Homo-oligomer: A and B are copies of this chain.
Amino acid sequence: MKKSIFYHAGCPLCVSAEQDILNFIPENEVEVIHLGQDKAKVRDAEAAGVQSVPALVLANGNVLHINFGASIEDLK
């Protein structure tokens, strides 16, 4: 099964959202990517439709932008 990907940038709001999301989704079904530490992935996130973090890209391709921590533009 394709995993969901949770993109974040380490902000307190991101960490809080991550904890809430991981309450719903079993940890082995979601990959967590810190775009502040892994700048190379910013392009992938953008290609998947991520406009801001934290965001959850689902296995079905839908993107859930959860609250608003930072714009993807600001992570480049």
Contacts of A67 in B (CB 8 A): 63-65
Q: Find the B residue at minimum CB distance from A55.
A: B67
Q: Kindly report how many copies of this chain are found in the complex they form together.
A: 2
What is the interface of chain A mostly: helix, strand, loop, or mixed?
mixed
What is the distance, in angstroms, from A16's C-beta to the closest C-beta of chain B? 7
What is the distance, in angstroms, from A63's C-beta to the closest C-beta of chain B? 8
16 chain-A/chain-B pairs, Cβ below 8 angstroms: A16-B62, A17-B64, A20-B58, A20-B60, A20-B62, A20-B64, A23-B58, A24-B24, A24-B25, A63-B67, A64-B66, A64-B67, A65-B66, A65-B67, A65-B68, A66-B66
Residues on A lying within 8 angstroms of B by beta carbon are 16-17, 20, 23-25, 58, 60, 62-68
